Amino acid sequence: MRVIPSHLPPRPEGRVVVIGAGKASARMAEAVESVWGPCEGLVITRYGYARPCEGIEIVEAAHPVPDAAGAEATRRMLALLGTLKEGDMVLALISGGGSALLTCPAAGITLAEKQALTQSLLASGAPIGDINGIRKELSAVKGGRLAVAAYPARMVALMISDVPGDSPGDIASGPTVGYAGDAARALACLAQWQVEPPAAIRAFLEAGGNPVAPDDLKLSRVENRVISAPSQSLAAAAVMGRAAGCDVRLLGDAIEGEAREVAAAHASEALKLQATLAADAPPVLLLSGGELTVTRRGDGVGGPNAEYALALAIALQGAPGIHALACDTDGVDGAAEVAGAVIGPGTLTKGPTAADALARNDAHGYFAGIGDQVVTGPTLTNVNDFRAILIHPKEAAR
């Protein structure tokens, strides 16, 4: 509600249509109308993330696996864009989650086939860059195709990033950003992550797909702006940490990898750092962001933030004076309606065997059992994962 108004010009003369997709998109639409007044448009957000708008229609759909509601809303959005003329303007509000919410399979591919592929990819441990690259190849709306549908109208896309590197082409799989295409790479990624696609998807990729190149004339009237990013959440947290007397250190805003492996590395770093602290030293706060992944091995419920937190607790083995929080800023860790979890020296003593829970990918179950989940409800924004490790000097902790 603060950042959107700072990026909005005066409302243009003539017809203006507001569209959007993502977990933050309904809140973004609400912010637009707070400045421009009632607007014509259609925005797709996750179930539970709708906001009241005067003119813009808000549709809720499924995430992370797309559903029929999202597909129907996307069809109507494309039809709306098809009515625009050269003097019209489109304001596109794009945020993380848009890859699943904005769904229109390429010709010859069914929604059921895309759903099956999405489920397999999410369980494979593939990084989001690989997943989104495959999504672009198989979509009639991603990879710049949404912007093509609006041509010859002018389009301004305001984006909230939830991807490492903040590339506009990666946010929500780049519906307003051209993509040269690489069907062969998509097939290689599927093979690398041991995901066998439905026959129709394989055939489509083997035929080369149907990309929209970045220099396509129909993208010439599009302006893409990233207005919020993970680095800003870490910077804000750093200000708060320093105000509380902490020695704040940033580990990076684009960390990727298997959640349990990154947790082990961060635990090692925290323990080594603690060993160097004098008894009267201020506590150290390690901050990091990015997008971790989980390779599904068991039948439990556990997103990447909860799995990171549980693996971190196991690696720390109750080290005194070290506490941590790991949450997704959208309030949803994986498919669970839980943002993440907190840990401390007593985490492993509160419940059943943590190692068993980790082996079954049941971090959410473990933290629910000991009362250490972080449940925010819909946050109405999405700037990726947020992790904080607070390290007190060992002697002071005793």
Q: How far, CA to CA in Å, does 383 sit from each of 4, 40, 248, 334?
A: 15, 27, 20, 14
Residue 62 CB neighbours (<10 A): 18
Asked if pLDDT for residue 382 goes beyond 90, the answer is yes
Q: Are 142 and 271 in contact (CB under 8 A)?
A: no
Asked if pLDDT for residue 336 goes beyond 70, the answer is yes
Q: What are phi and psi of 212, to 5 degrees?
A: -110, 110
Tell me how far apart the alpha carbons of residues 156 and 276 are, in angstroms, rounded to a whole number: 50
pLDDT at 397: 65
pLDDT at 296: 87
Q: Are 74 and 102 in contact (CB under 8 A)?
A: yes
Asked if pLDDT for residue 351 goes beyond 80, the answer is no
Closest CA to 338 of 291, 298, 371: 371
Alpha carbon 255 to chain centroid, angstroms: 13
Asked if pLDDT for residue 41 goes beyond 90, the answer is yes
**Mean pLDDT computed over 199-223:** 95
What percentage of residues in the chain have a pLDDT greater than 70?
Answer: 99
Confidence category of residue 180, pLDDT binned at 50, 70, 90: confident
Confidence category of residue 249, pLDDT binned at 50, 70, 90: very high
Tell me how far apart the alpha carbons of residues 23 and 96 are, in angstroms, rounded to a whole number: 6
Asked if pLDDT for residue 55 goes beyond 70, the answer is yes
**Mean pLDDT computed over 209-235:** 95
**Mean pLDDT computed over 267-289:** 97
Q: Are 195 and 131 in contact (CB under 8 A)?
A: no
pLDDT digits over 112-126, tens only? 999 999 999 988 988
What percentage of residues in the chain have a pLDDT greater than 90?
Answer: 89
Closest CA to 64 of 255, 367, 366, 328: 328
Average pLDDT, the chain: 95
pLDDT at 398: 58
Asked if pLDDT for residue 356 goes beyond 70, the answer is yes
Tell me how far apart the alpha carbons of residues 97 and 108 are, in angstroms, rounded to a whole number: 24
**Mean pLDDT computed over 193-213:** 94
